[in-house]
Amino acid sequence: MMRKAKEKPPNLAIKLAGISLKNPVMVASGTFGYGEEYAQLVDLNRLGAIVAKTITLKPRLGNDPPRIVETASGVLNSIGLQNVGIDTFINEKLPFFKEYDVPLIVSIAGETTDEYVQLAKTLQGEKITGLELNLSCPNIKYKRKLMFAQNPQATHQVVSRVRKAISLPLMVKLSPNVTDIASIAKMCEEAGADGVSLINTFTGMAIDVENRKPMLRQVTGGLSGPAIKPIALRMVYEVHKAVRIPIIGIGGIMTAGDALEFIIAGAKAVAIGTGNFVDPLIPIKVIDGIREYMVNNKIKDIKSIVGRLKCPKS
């Protein structure tokens, strides 16, 4: 009698910038707070990794409301990096993660290169898995008017200085509000980044025509959600061709199919942002959906499809 050999379950584990992840599905900065808020609804230990809300040296109050407005298949936000600041983060938010077995990536933002370096050094001794430099928040005005991620030299400088200051795995979060995102990603690679996260939100706006007023108090904000997915995907595709460091694909991921598109375009991991607001279980459903896809398509290891887009030869 023939016995069907028991299939080995597909392998979703990956190594990202030296970090071992159970699966390639993370939650994106700013959409998952400091983990506590969602812990009652989601088994945090099942997530590939958590990227915490961006923190700054000093606490920030954030922008005046309204800060959020829904648009066609998207969300505009202008939170303004409201956060408790690094000291309170370390003393009050970090201990929460001790209970969990999930990699924690801490996102930081400064107004100057020195601030990034100071933040990174402060976190070096803490129990965290990695750092993400948020060079791309569209909601705070830097002294130089541009975001770091819109200036190749500034990007190179901040990444290389932080790289020299710390040994933690180092990711850089890029802005889509640039003409050539691949060249910025290359800068990050040259400067010693271990990976790039893309993308942050697109600047956008919405208007209440009855009152001729902007829907957001700050007039403009950052667009996220399914509306930006095709552009995010194209950017991951372009960056994958340009760099060898791993890419975390972000932008409008709601389903396993969305996540797989990013993986095939070249992302080694993905992160869910706005999807958490729609259904806190989306990250878990995406993980389960990727596994099911792998079983159905006889894919043994997720790594084997990263960047394996089959383009017809021209």
Partner 1 sequence: MVQVDAKILENRELGSQRYKMALSAPQIGCQAKPGQFIHVRVSKGFLPLLRRPFSVHRVQGQKIEILYKVVGKGTEILSRKKGGEYLDILGPLGKGYQLPSATSKISDIILVAGGTGVASLLFLAESISVANPELSILVLVGAKNREELLCEGDFRRLGCRVEVATENGTRGYKGLVSELLEKCLPLSGDRPKPIVFACGPSEMLKMIGKISRKHRFPCQVSLEERLACGVGACLGCVVKTKGSTYTYKRVCKDGPVFDAGELIWE
Ligand X SMILES: Cc1cc2nc3c(=O)[nH]c(=O)nc-3n(C[C@H](O)[C@H](O)[C@H](O)COP(=O)(O)O)c2cc1C
How far apart are CB 311 and ligand X at their closest, in Å?
25
Compute the Cα dihedral for 192, 193, 199, 201 and give only its sign.
Answer: negative
Residue number with CB closer to partner 1 (27 or 158) = 27
**What are the two backbone dihedrals, phi and then psi, of residue 167, each rounded to the nearest 5 degrees?**
-110, -5
201 binds, among ligand X, partner 1, none (CB under 5 to 8 A by kind): ligand X
**Which 227-286 residues touch ligand X, going by CB under 6 A?**
228, 250-253, 272-275
Supply the minimum distance, in Å, between the C-beta of residue 76 and ligand X. Answer: 9
What, of partner 1, ligand X, none, does residue 281 touch, CB below 5 to 8 Å by kind?
partner 1
**Of 73-81, 153-161, 164-172, 294-302: span binding ligand X (CB under 6 A):** 73-81
In degrees and rounded to multiples of 5, residue 220 shows phi and psi of: -110, 160
How far apart (Å, rounded) are the C-alpha atoms in residues 25 and 27? 7
Options 17, 21, 25, 28; binder of ligand X; rule CB under 6 A: 28
Identify the residue among 200, 214, 236, 293 touching ligand X (CB under 6 A): 200
Active site residue 188: no
Residues in Cβ contact with 49 at an 8 Å cutoff, skipping those fewer than 6 apart: 16, 19, 21, 26, 27, 102, 103, 104, 105, 129, 269
**258 token code pair:** 């969305």
Task: Provide the phi-psi class of 52: left if phi over 0, else alpha when psi is between -120 and 50, else beta.
Answer: beta
107 lies in the binding site for ligand X (CB under 6 A): yes
Judged by CB under 8 A, the chain residues 219 through 258 that form the site for partner 1 are 225-226, 254
Q: Residues 6 or more apart from 21 whose CB is under 8 A from it? A: 13, 14, 15, 48, 49, 103, 269
- Binding of partner 1 at residue 43 (CB under 8 A)? no
Of 51, 102, 123, 137, the catalytic one is 137
Cα dihedral: 62, 222, 252, 249 (round 10): -80
Instruction: Using the structure block, give the residue that is written with the tokens 């808020």.
Output: 37
Pick 29 or 136: Cβ nearer partner 1: 29
Q: Does 50 sit near partner 1 (CB under 8 A)?
A: no
Tokens for 122, please give them.
């402060």
Q: Any contact of residue 33 with partner 1 (CB under 8 A)? A: yes
What residues make contact with partner 1 under the rule CB under 8 A?
A: 30-33, 37-38, 40-41, 53, 61-62, 64-70, 73-75, 77, 79, 82, 225-226, 254, 274, 276-281
- Kindly list the catalytic residues: 137
